[in-house]
Amino acid sequence: MKCTTEQHFTGQIWRPPFEANSVLLQATSGCSHNKCTFCSLYHGTKFRASPFAEIEHDLQIIQRSQPHARRVWLTGANPFCLSYEKLVELALLIREYLPNVLNIGGFARISDITPKTRAEWADLRRLGYDRISIGTESGDDLTLARMNKGYTARDIVEQCVKLQDAGIEYNITYLNGLAGAGNGTRNAIETAKIYSQIRPFIISVVSLTVFPESQLYAEIQRGEYAESSELERLQELKTLIENLMLDTPFTLLANTVSNPIPLTGVIPQERGRLVRELETMIASAHEDELRKYREGIRSL
């Protein structure tokens, strides 16, 4: 039994690096989908929506420790799987205890956006929901199906446009190397076609790191999947950047622990610099050294 002065946090807790200053509030635990072949982030944690009594208890603690909080980050793999009605109730409860909060974010799956109408998303935006982070991972239908993401590339466009129409900013994630050896160029080109039809604020690039808890790890051991080399991933990222033609500027962040060579920039303004840096890396990097770095990663 947790002490009453502690917040409820269950299992693995993740947030993007750029949410470091946000207040963390558990709305869900685990992942409602939990079937992505590559994922081990929430292994061993059964999906659960937090009862509102627990959330209110945690808000009372936050009210005492951070009464002037401006942004709340909802923890869990995809708290936006909660119904429209529950998200409304949650926002009102947050504002009751933290009246200075300007916006509320969290992770979402594309399939979490689908059930809610444009009008409902517009209501949620008025209640403060904004800057949602979506793990799209790819915009290539072959890769999405192979990794059991549970939606298509066309779904990404349709649901992100729905958020745009509601005035909600969102960030998306690209999982470099996900398509496997020999498929990086196709994955990058097809994904760029899809991403170029939407308006993310940030595109975060994470490089695939396979852990033993994932289904993909077992497939690798059985010879059913071959990982992309590190140099192929650098070429894949270069191809992605060259082909991203969004109609609004965005920030590309490829600087998490999964990226052995960190890279960041604003596109289109810094596209040329990013491509040149990648060309230099490809020409000078050593596969063995990059692979050794990845094998040393113990946690994302």
From first to last of its 300 residues, what are the pLDDT tens digits of the chain? 344 679 999 988 889 999 999 999 999 999 999 999 999 999 889 999 999 999 999 999 999 999 999 999 999 999 999 999 999 999 999 999 999 999 999 999 999 999 999 999 999 999 999 999 999 999 999 999 999 999 999 999 999 999 999 999 999 999 999 999 999 999 999 999 999 999 999 999 999 999 999 999 999 999 999 999 999 999 999 999 999 999 999 999 999 999 999 999 999 999 999 999 999 999 999 999 999 999 999 988
Write down the pTM of the prediction: 0.95
Thinking of the domain 7-130, which architecture would CATH place it in?
2-Layer Sandwich (3.30)
Euclidean distance between CA atoms 106 and 15, whole angstroms: 8
Domain coordinates of the chain in residue numbers?
Answer: 7-130, 135-295
Cα atoms found within 13 Å of the Cα of residue 153, Cβ hemisphere only: 20
Euclidean distance between CA atoms 43 and 286, whole angstroms: 33
Euclidean distance between CA atoms 48 and 158, whole angstroms: 28
CB-based contact 136:172 (threshold 8 Å): yes
Backbone angles phi, psi at 48, to 5 degrees: -155, 135
Residue in 145, 23, 17 with CA at minimum distance from that of residue 72: 23
- Residue 41 burial by CB count (10 A; 0-12/13-18/19+): exposed, middle or buried? buried
